[in-house]
């Protein structure tokens, strides 16, 4: 048991050290959601009023509405980017080292997913801190309650990223992931607009958003941030995390990447 703990803490420590040492990567990951918050949301504020909807008790400005979606966007980008690099060459060297560990491959992959998810949370909280200074201030208890919700979402998206990278040949570069995974997941969700607004525009778009796992991820975090519990979102996210992780581990096989290159 101790060997497992040593191994897991070693993997987390390595991710932490890389995070601390690669400050530019950390800062550039923050730029994206901040642009959305400070530029896009500010511009949209006038165009889009948000009526009273759960979990909010009152009318809210657009910047308040968009925060959970942007927090999840950080996790979405990190999850996809991290998982893609686990499969393809960029980090193949470090994956080879990881896989020479005598501990089971399933354990190693899950540890890696959990470690990168924990580090992603630091970026999310850095973003929430800047948003706090900007004036978007969820209750302090909400910020604490959002922690497990964000961790679950981070794990779900990392596992999804690994599963997609294993399964789909066309996702060999990040542009493919942006176009075919990140953008559809993000825009067809409740991250930028409430679902009732979407329904006003189009019934089928509404349904696409309603079944999108990312919508449930955003709502889980939104409810937690305002000290509310969303059982449906939790059930969907927990169930999908297990499913994605299971399938991702079962389908992870570096020789598939080699076979694709050879073919």
Partner 1 sequence: MNALEVSDLSFAYGAREALRKVSFSLEPGRFAALLGPNGAGKSTLIALLTRLYDLQHGEIRVGGNSLRSAARPALKQLGVVFQQSTLDLDLSIEQNLRYHAALHGLSRRQTDLRVDAELARQTLTDRRRERVRELNGGHRRRVEIARALLHEPRLLLLDEASVGLDPASRLALNQHIRSLCREERISVLWTTHLLDEVQPRDDLLILHQGRLVASGQADALSLEHGGDLGSAFTRLTTSGAAQ
Summarize as ranges the residues that interact with partner 1 (CB under 8 A).
2-4, 6-7, 9-11, 13-14, 17-18, 21-22, 93-94, 96-105, 108, 253-255, 258-259, 262-263
Angle at 172 between CA 103 and CA 211, to 5 degrees: 85
Least distance from C-beta 167 to partner 1, angstroms?
A: 17
Nearest one of 177, 188, 179, 178 to 210, comparing CA atoms: 188
Each as own residue / partner, the long-range contacts of residues 147-152 (CB below 8 Å, 24 or more positions apart, any chain) are 147/121, 148/224, 149/220, 149/221, 149/223, 149/224, 149/234, 149/237, 150/71, 150/72, 150/75, 150/121, 150/124, 150/221, 151/117, 151/118, 151/121, 152/220, 152/234, 152/237, 152/238, 152/241
Least distance from C-beta 254 to partner 1, angstroms?
A: 5
Q: Find the distance separating the first CA and the last CA of the chain, reported in whole Å.
A: 41
Residues in the chain: 263
Is the Cβ of residue 175 or residue 262 nearer to partner 1 in the bound state? 262
Angle at 244 between CA 242 and CA 190, to 5 degrees: 95
Least distance from C-beta 138 to partner 1, angstroms?
A: 34
Is the Cβ of residue 9 or residue 28 nearer to partner 1 in the bound state? 9
State how far the Cα of 68 lies from the Cα of 128, in Å rounded to an integer: 9
Least distance from C-beta 113 to partner 1, angstroms?
A: 16
Least distance from C-beta 230 to partner 1, angstroms?
A: 37
Is the Cβ of residue 199 or residue 256 nearer to partner 1 in the bound state? 256
Is the Cβ of residue 87 or residue 160 nearer to partner 1 in the bound state? 87
Is the Cβ of residue 127 or residue 252 nearer to partner 1 in the bound state? 252
Least distance from C-beta 94 to partner 1, angstroms?
A: 6
Is the Cβ of residue 48 or residue 92 nearer to partner 1 in the bound state? 92
């Amino acid at each position: 048991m101790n060997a497992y703990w040593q191994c897991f803490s070693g993997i987390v420590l390595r991710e932490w050290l890389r995070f601390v040492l690669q400050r530019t990567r950390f800062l550039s990951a923050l730029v994206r959601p901040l642009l959305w918050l400070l530029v896009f949301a500010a511009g949209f504020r006038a165009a889009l009023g948000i009526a009273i909807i759960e979990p909010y008790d009152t009318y809210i400005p657009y910047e308040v509405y968009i925060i959970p979606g942007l927090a999840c966007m950080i996790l979405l980008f990190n999850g996809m980017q991290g998982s893609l690099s686990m499969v393809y060459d960029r980090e193949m060297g470090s994956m080879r080292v990881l896989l020479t560990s005598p501990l089971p491959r399933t354990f190693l992959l899950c540890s890696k997913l959990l470690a990168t998810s924990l580090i992603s949370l630091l970026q999310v909280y850095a973003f929430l801190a800047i948003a706090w200074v900007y004036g978007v201030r969820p209750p302090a208890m909400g910020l604490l309650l959002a922690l497990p919700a964000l961790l679950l979402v981070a794990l779900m998206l990392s596992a999804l990223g690994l599963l997609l990278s294993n399964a789909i040949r066309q996702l060999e570069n990040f542009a493919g992931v942006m176009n075919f995974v990140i953008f559809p997941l993000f825009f067809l969700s409740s991250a930028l607009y409430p679902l009732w607004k979407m329904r006003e525009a189009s019934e089928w778009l509404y349904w696409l958003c309603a079944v999108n796992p990312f919508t449930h991820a955003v709502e889980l975090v939104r409810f937690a941030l305002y000290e509310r519990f969303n059982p449906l979102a939790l059930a969907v996210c927990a169930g999908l995390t297990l499913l994605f992780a299971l399938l991702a581990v079962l389908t992870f096989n570096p020789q598939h990447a080699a076979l694709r290159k050879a073919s």
